[in-house]
Amino acid sequence: MENNTTIKTHKYRLYPTKPQEAAMFETLRLTRQLYNAALEQRISAYKKQGKTVTGYDQQKELTALKEACPEFEAVYSHVLQEPFERLDKTYRSFFARVKRGEKAGFPRFKPAQRWNSFKFKEVWDKKKGRWLTPGRPTDDGKRINIPKIGSVKCKFHRPLEGTPKTLQILHECGEWYAVYTCEVPKNPLTPTGSSVGVDVGTTWFAITSDGEFVENPRHLKTGLRKLRVQQRTVARRKKGSNRRKKAVKLVAKNHQKIRRQRLDFHHKTARRLVNEHDVIAHEDLKVSNMVKSNLARSISDVGWSQFFDILSLKAESAARKVIRVNPMYTSQTCHQCGHRSKESRLSQSRFKCVNCGHEDNADLNAARNILQAGARPSGVNDSEVMHVVA
Ligand SMILES: [Zn+2]
């Protein structure tokens, strides 16, 4: 079935009063307690009786829990269900990693610094006969009515689009945020007749088969340099000292700024690609992780996977196509004659075919191969076309 909606997230800064903030911290504390208790229960049930307890089993115990520990009454009931779902998800991805033969750490207990959000989801409103997400903006667009927390001041720097499905309250670097995920109708763009291959690198953010070199923005580079200096300062200062704590705070603040700038850059770059091309082919990062694993790559991969996620969401909503291509040999194959040889790759940046003598920038050659692999109809060579997001 053709799905004509897509998911969009909106993040807004919250300005809670002192009592509201206290209630939010208390919700964080209780939901984290619940998560850890649920994990504990699963582990011990398994150890004692070899029994598997599911999130569903555990949710059924909530009523009894509230009677035994009335403090949980202070938290909206659906918010209390979410930790179980989060734990289910953690378990699922743990077993998936085990199954794929990857290194997998068993689900761990969450310390306070690793638990920074709680979530509201849609509920069925019997009286109104429809689904409602708690925590809608107020009519004047200045506040959000968060159940059990209060009417919290919020800065809607851009309007909320679509139908909210979930609302997450997030505590990040001492600031509070409301994150809505909304269902938005798709907005198909007129076809341009153009296809493009995108290669990601460490020197450039991306290179397109059209010969465009997309650079990381200057402010991002400056920010990263500053971050390294700040991190060295932290390392130099004495553990437990106030000066160190101050430096740690600065690092966190800068981290947040960089995250925001990178996100913005990813959105803009993806928007441009989606506007200009009907089909966008890029390497499949999951596969390339297995093919070429080195530390520098896996670190930058984090950024790229965010970019590719944004790209496929935008493409989906615009009815464009994103194709993930097996990156195997894309950097060793000559785009001109198809000859594959390790020797053709002269250096990180130069490519010279040992067969036909074709010379090119190595990344550009790779981007052109990616485009070609993406254009190949699937079925002809299934192993090369990994996954199609239509
Ligand atoms: Zn060649």
Residue range 197-230, pLDDT digits in tens: 998 876 788 999 999 999 888 888 888 889 889 9
User: Which residue spans of the chain are classified as CATH 3.30.420?
Assistant: 195-215+261-389
Looking at domain 195-215+261-389, its CATH class is alpha beta
pLDDT value at 5 more than 90: no
- How many whole angstroms from 333 Cα to the centroid of ligand 1? 8
In the prediction, which pLDDT does 345 show?
87
Q: Say which residues have a Cβ less than 8 Å from residue 266's Cβ, sequence separation at least 6.
A: 303, 306, 307, 310
C-alpha angle 296-297-298 in degrees, rounded to nearest 5:
95
CA distance 216 to 236: 29
206 burial (CB, 10 Å; 0-12 / 13-18 / 19+) is: buried
Higher pLDDT, 295 or 353: 353
- How many whole angstroms from 284 Cα to the centroid of ligand 1? 24
Residue range 313-367, pLDDT digits in tens: 899 889 899 999 988 888 889 999 999 998 988 887 889 999 999 999 998 999 9
- How many whole angstroms from 358 Cα to the centroid of ligand 1? 5
Token pair for residue 228?
A: 């390294």
- How many whole angstroms from 354 Cα to the centroid of ligand 1? 7
- How many whole angstroms from 322 Cα to the centroid of ligand 1? 28
Greatest alpha-carbon span in the chain: 78
